[in-house]
Amino acid sequence: MHLGWKRDRPALTEGVAYLSDIGPSPDRMYYNYFATQVMRHYEGDRWKEWNRRLRDDLVSAQARTGHEAGSWYFDGGDYGRVRAGRLYFTSLAALILESYYRYLSVYGPRDGDTGDAGRPAGSVIDAPVEPWPSSPNAVNDFETRETVTNARSRSRETLSLPTFHRRPCAGGKND
């Protein structure tokens, strides 16, 4: 999606259908978080149904009494349960519930759809781009080498880092 896949790409439509058929998990918040990102960006009826189900499940699962009020915890098999517990589940639940406030839709509105909360949805796929200013340490368009000091050993190390050389801009077209 974020790399420019069109909405009608078979792998994407099949993946969205698969996630939609499985639906949100009652206790696997890691899955729910990332599947919600896919469903949110894809939008349409499948997103609306996904969001309704997961939103209602999360709101009903939220602790309402004592010092835990307002938080979430699930006893299921999510790997974050043992290491991070209530903080992990509460963080992911909050991120899921605000997913439509945090990102523009990748594909924008369809057929008069106004997006969430009655606001027109934007599209980042069609956003124009311009070259990112080149780093003096750029090896090529996709790699930059930076020399840093290792905090523990105090030795100098050269790291190869990905170079993100495109960004949204005003005007123009994607190339």
Q: Among 23-32, 44-53, 137-146, 159-168, which stretch is predicted with the lowest mean pLDDT?
A: 159-168
Query: How big is the CA angle at 60 (ends 54 and 22), to the nearest 5 degrees?
Result: 25
Pair (58, 82) in one structural domain: yes
Of 53-57, 105-109, 132-136, 152-156, highest mean pLDDT: 53-57
Q: What is the separation of C-alpha 80 from the centre of its chain, rounded to a whole number of angstroms?
A: 18
Say whether both 106 and 150 belong to one domain: no
Residue 76 and residue 155 in one domain: no
Nearest to 128 by CA among 171, 67, 71: 171
Q: Do the domain assignments include residue 124?
A: no
Average pLDDT of span 4-27: 92
pLDDT recorded at residue 26: 87
- Name the pTM for this structure: 0.61
Are residue 55 and residue 109 in the same domain, yes or no? yes
Same domain assignment for residues 90 and 32: yes
**Is there a single domain that holds both residue 96 and residue 154?**
no
pLDDT band at 155 (very low <50, low <70, confident <90, very high): confident
- Does 55 lie in the same domain as 109? yes
Looking at the fold, whether 52 and 108 belong to one and the same domain comes out as yes
Q: How many domains does the chain have?
A: 2
Q: Are residues 96 and 58 in the same domain?
A: yes
Helix (H, G, I), strand (E, B), or coil: what is residue 147? strand
In a domain, 30, yes or no: yes
Domain-located, residue 19: yes
pLDDT digits (tens, 9 = 90+) for 27-40: 888 999 999 999 99
Place of tokens 């899955």: 31
Residue 128, pLDDT score: 43
Q: When comparing pLDDT for 135 and 155, which is higher?
A: 155
- Going by the DSSP 8-state scheme, the letter that residue 63 receives in this structure is -
- Is 137 in the same domain as 103? no
* In a domain? residue 71: yes
Instruction: Identify whether residues 91 and 157 lie together within a single domain.
Output: no
Structural domain contains residue 114: yes
pLDDT tens, position by position, 43-90:
889 999 999 999 999 999 999 999 999 999 888 767 777 778 888 889
pLDDT-derived band at 140 (thresholds 50, 70, 90) equals: low
- Mean pLDDT across the chain: 74
Q: Is residue 110 part of a domain?
A: yes
pLDDT at 130: 44
Structural domain includes residue 5: no
Instruction: Please tell me the predicted confidence (pLDDT) of residue 120.
Output: 43
The answer, yes or no, to whether residue 118 has pLDDT greater than 70, is no
Final residue of a domain: which of 118, 138, 154?
A: 118
Task: Supply the range of the domain harboring residue 137.
Answer: 129-168
78/43 same-domain check: yes
